[in-house]
Homo-oligomer: A and B are copies of this chain.
Amino acid sequence: MELAGRLRGIFPPLVTPFTSEGALDLGAFEANLEAYAGTGLAGYLVLGSNGEANVLEESEKLELISSARRLAGGRPLLAGAGLESTRATIALVRKAADAGADGVLVLPPFYFRARMSDDALRRHFEAVAEASPVPVLLYSVPQVTGSSLSPALVAALARHPNLAGIKESSGDIALLGRIAAAAPLSFATMCGSGPVIYPALCVGARGGILAVACCSPRPAAALFDAYQSGDHARARRLQEELLPLAAAVTSGHGVAGLKAAMELAGLRGGSLREPLLPVPASVREELGALLRRAEAAA
Are B116 and A275 in contact (CB-based, < 8 A)? yes
- Docked Cα-Cα span, A146 to B147, in Å, equals 12
Measured CB to CB, the closest approach of chain B to A297, in angstroms, equals 12
Task: Please indicate the chain B residues that have their CB under 8 angstroms from the CB of A171 in the complex.
Answer: 172-174
Q: A55-B88, A193-B174, A254-B112 are in contact. Are A275 and B240 (CB under 8 A)?
A: no
- Docked Cα-Cα span, A156 to B248, in Å, equals 21
Verify if A119 is at the interface (C-beta below 8 Å from B). Answer: yes
Give this chain's copy count.
Answer: 4
Q: Is the interface of A mostly helix, strand, loop or mixed?
A: helix
Task: Please indicate the chain B residues that have their CB under 8 angstroms from the CB of A85 in the complex.
Answer: 54-55, 273-275
Contact bitstring A246-273, B, C-beta under 8 A = 1, else 0: 0100010011100000000000000001
Task: Please indicate the chain B residues that have their CB under 8 angstroms from the CB of A192 in the complex.
Answer: none
A68-76, A197-205, A210-218: which one contacts chain B? A197-205
Measured CB to CB, the closest approach of chain B to A48, in angstroms, equals 12
Closest 6 CB pairs of A and B: A199-B199, A55-B85, A124-B275, A174-B195, A54-B111, A86-B274
A-B contact pairs, 6 of them (CB 8 A): A54-B85, A55-B84, A85-B273, A114-B251, A114-B254, A171-B172
